[in-house]
Structure 1
Amino acid sequence: MGLIANAIGTYLYIILITPYEFEEALVDGYREGFLGKLIVLGAIFNLVLFFFFLTGKIGKFKKPIQEYEARGVVMATMLAGIAGLMFNFIL
């Protein structure tokens, strides 16, 4: 779920904030070296998913608390951070 939320967050950031189209932003991001920053900014969407799993509610929608899913979202966020570091400094 964390990786999917990260992908959705990256997509929404590119579409809503930047003047680029999605494919153009990914290609230009890789070519110009800001693809890692796009990935890390997309991970902000994981924050919503993390608190949803820990509190079990968003608005009127309630469900049992899922600690292991919240742990998975944290791991996916760390993976996104590592990917961001790799794209910024190594590749």
Structure 2
Amino acid sequence: MKKEILIGFAVGVIAAVFGFIFAIQIFGKSDDWGVVIQQAISQGFFTKLMSIGALLNLGAFFIFLKKNKDLRAKGVLIATVLILITTMIIKFTN
């Protein structure tokens, strides 16, 4: 049971990281990820990139639900809530 939730959590984190990378590639004005991240932080849209990246979790969540893997979907949901909390902390501390 815990293994299934952990798998879903890992999928959620990995999907969010890939989504973040895709968002950097689409919206960044440089090929260097470090430069894009520094610009995003200085211009105040880093949290928006994080939110866009987390959209891939939506797909993973519904795929797990469709395959009746409810515990894995729960893990993806936990990862998404953790990303939400992290995003809010970053947004309101800067």
TM range (shorter): 0.7 to 0.9
Gaps of 5+ in 1: 57-64
Residue of structure 1 aligned with 2:35, choices 24, 33, 39? 24
Q: Given that residues 3 and 76 in structure 1 are in contact (C-alpha distance below 8 angstroms), is that contact kept between their aligned partners in structure 2? A: yes
Deviation of 1:40 after TM superposition, in Å, equals: 1.1
Say yes or no: does 1:12 pair with 2:22. Answer: yes
Deviation of 1:17 after TM superposition, in Å, equals: 3.6
Between the two structures, name the one with larger relative contact order (CA 8 Å, sep ≥ 6): 2
**How high is the sequence identity, in percent, across the aligned residues?**
30
TM-score by length of 1: 0.80
Structure-1 separation of matches of 2:35 and 2:57 = 24
| Matched AA of 2:20 | T
The structure that is strand-richer by fraction is: 1
Equivalences, count: 83
Equivalent residue, structure 2, for 1:73: 76
Residue of structure 2 aligned with 1:90, choices 66, 69, 93? 93
The structure that is helix-richer by fraction is: 2
Deviation of 1:31 after TM superposition, in Å, equals: 2.6
Gaps of 5+ in 2: 1-10
TM-score by length of 2: 0.78
Structure-1 separation of matches of 2:39 and 2:28 = 12
Say yes or no: does 1:39 pair with 2:43. Answer: no
Q: What are the Cα deviations for residues 13-40 of structure 1, in whole angstroms up to 9, with x where unaligned?
A: 1112433332222122223322111111
Instruction: Tell me how large the CA RMSD over aligned residues is.
Output: 1.4
